[in-house]
Amino acid sequence: MKTEFFWTPIPGLGLPDELPGRLIVIEGTDSVGRSTQMQLLRSWLERRGVAVHDTGLTRGRLAGQDIQTAKQGHTMGPRTQCLFYATDFADRLETEIVPALRAGYVVVTDRYIYSLMARSAVRGMEREWLRKLYGFALKPTLTLYLKISVSGLLPRALSAGGFDFWESGMDYLAEETLYDAFVKHQSALLAEFEAMTAEYGFTVIDASVDVRRGFEEVQRHVWPVVADLVPSGDVVTDPLFEPAYRPGEVRNEDRRSLSERVREVLTALLEESE
Amino acid sequence: MQPSEQYRGRLFVVEGIDGSGKSTQIDLLYKWLLARGQAAFFSEWNSSPLVKRTTSRGKRRHLLQPLTFSLIHATDFADRTERTIIPPLKAGAAVLADRYVYTAFARDGARGCDPAWIRQLYSFAVRPTVGFYFRVPLEVALDRILSGRPELKYYEAGMDLGLADDVVESFKLFQARILQEYDRIVEEFNLTVIDGTLPIGVQQQQVREIVEPFLDGLLPRPDDGRSGPPPREGEA
């Protein structure tokens, strides 16, 4: 992938113009199904011999833990919260994502600067300031935006354990119930994502359909950007979940259709019984 | 930066390299304001209790790179702005800050961060009523620091930049870089320069004369003699 930043490069890193890895971003609001898609994507790529590194927000070693602690106390102002997240993101980008990209991994990240900007924007931070703040971020190879409506989100949020304080924006909203806050906060977040879709060229994945169909879409978009990293040789398939989507690789066993194989087996059985 | 005129209070900040004498001057200013019956509120660089753990972990384990060093200090500054700068300014107090955004501009600039990016990052800061810069030659500052406190910390000495293997040597080179950055900043932001080589009392006299016209109508201090937290000991 090309080493490109949104605005200004990370100081002191001295990156080459090209990185051997790929950066794939899975974006979308809370409980839209990002982690399921990530797991499927990871095992699909790994079975094909592609090295995958996955990562997510607030998992950084520098500030990740302290952000969680600070959230317990609900004591952060919006700007402080925003910059705390930015610190954690910068640490993860520099010490985890960039080294993996340098080593040729496909880095799949659960959320990127877009979620961080959306969260801060709905809490009143200026959009222009946010875009410049995150100007040090690498431009991803592909951003898959899992799109859903608030009504589509409700059953997922409920089955994931109900409405969460932060996912309902209760730190800044003054709504009567968690439900009201959730709807208001999530609608605002979705509007931010919607606005960013054209601006950043998101690839939109319909997250309202079932997981399998959603994943077929994911595969269809991921394949072209990783195809050159796939080693030749047999594909080890997962008997429990072999994705329906078959990328354009041409292999002998793929050419043989299922009916052909059935015919072979039946012929063999018939020969035996004769 | 945000205009300070929207607040009833006044914001006075001091800047300069380590050993410039700025902390001494703002401490004297603070006591003078209290003695005059003014409500003075002290806000210090690197003072957010919320961010402190992350900053000290990062510094202890040398986890900070120029970008994260810059961002963690911006986080600290945002918390400080939201808690200890804007509220007392709204209340009409005199707010004193030992180091302000210019410290970030100088240090992060010396660490290779893009100056335009840093300025944009701190654009939410309130512009000070008066920004003092205590100018001293590099040798004077180095002598003040190195003669009294030989135990230099890793980031303080700019060891993360790999300028020199020796801590003292690295500190000298790093301070020289910061001084260069300050020279640009003083012009860019029109800071009020005080000659930091003058006797302490003479400098304080100048500081008071510059501050005094801005003190009319500020909040008085309460009768019990207390007003805001006192300055902490030592350097930020």
Which ipTM value was assigned to this complex? 0.85
Q: Which CATH architecture has domain B10-199?
A: 3-Layer(aba) Sandwich (3.40)
Of A11, A75, A77, the CB nearest to B67: A11
Mean pLDDT, residues A41-68 taken together: 79
Q: What is the pLDDT of residues B81-133, one digit of tens each?
A: 998 899 999 999 999 999 999 999 999 999 999 999 999 999 999 999 999 99
Its pTM stands at: 0.83
Spell out the domain ranges in chain B: 10-199
How far is it, in rounded angstroms, from Cα A55 to Cα A59?
A: 7
Of B54, B65, B75, the CB nearest to A94: B65
Q: What are phi and psi of B192, to 5 degrees?
A: -85, 115
Are residues A87 and B68, on separate chains, in Cβ contact within 8 Å?
Answer: yes
How far is it, in rounded angstroms, from Cα B189 to Cα B181?
A: 12
What is the overall mean pLDDT for chain A? Answer: 85
Which strand (E) or helix (H) includes residue B218?
none
Under DSSP, the state recorded for A10 is P
**For position A255, what pLDDT does the model report?**
42
Of A9, A61, A77, the CB nearest to B63: A61
Name the pLDDT band for A167 (thresholds 50, 70, 90).
confident
Task: Give yes or no for B83 touching A (CB within 8 A).
Answer: yes
- pLDDT, greater one: A261 or B215: B215
Taking 90 as the threshold, does the pLDDT of residue A12 lie above it?
no
Q: Name residues of chain B where pLDDT drops below 50.
A: 234-236
Mean pLDDT, residues A17-25 taken together: 96
Alpha helices (H) in chain B, listed in sequence order: 22-35, 49-60, 66-80, 86-91, 101-110, 115-121, 138-148, 167-188, 200-211
How far is it, in rounded angstroms, from Cα A114 to Cα A193?
A: 7
**For position B110, what pLDDT does the model report?**
94
- pLDDT, greater one: A183 or A245: A183
**For position B96, what pLDDT does the model report?**
96
Q: Is-contact A95 B58, C-beta < 8 A?
A: no
Q: Is-contact B92 B8, C-beta < 8 A?
A: yes
**For position A250, what pLDDT does the model report?**
40
Residue A254 CA: distances (Å) to CA of A229, A251, B36, B54: 20, 5, 89, 53
- Among A42-51, A59-68, B143-152, which range has the highest average pLDDT? A42-51
How far is it, in rounded angstroms, from Cα B158 to Cα B146?
A: 15
Q: Is-contact B47 B232, C-beta < 8 A?
A: yes
Task: Report the residue of chain A nearest B116, measured CA to CA.
Answer: A8
CATH class of A22-273: alpha beta
Q: Which of A131, A135, A107, A101 is nearest to A10 (CA)?
A: A135
**For position B157, what pLDDT does the model report?**
86
Chain B residues whose beta carbon lies within 8 Å of the beta carbon of residue A135: 117
Percent of chain A with pLDDT over 90: 57
Are residues B117 and A7, on separate chains, in Cβ contact within 8 Å?
Answer: yes
Spell out the domain ranges in chain A: 22-273
Residue B52 CA: distances (Å) to CA of B45, B58, B75: 11, 10, 10
**For position A252, what pLDDT does the model report?**
43
Range in A216-225, A256-265, B85-94 the model is least confident about: A256-265
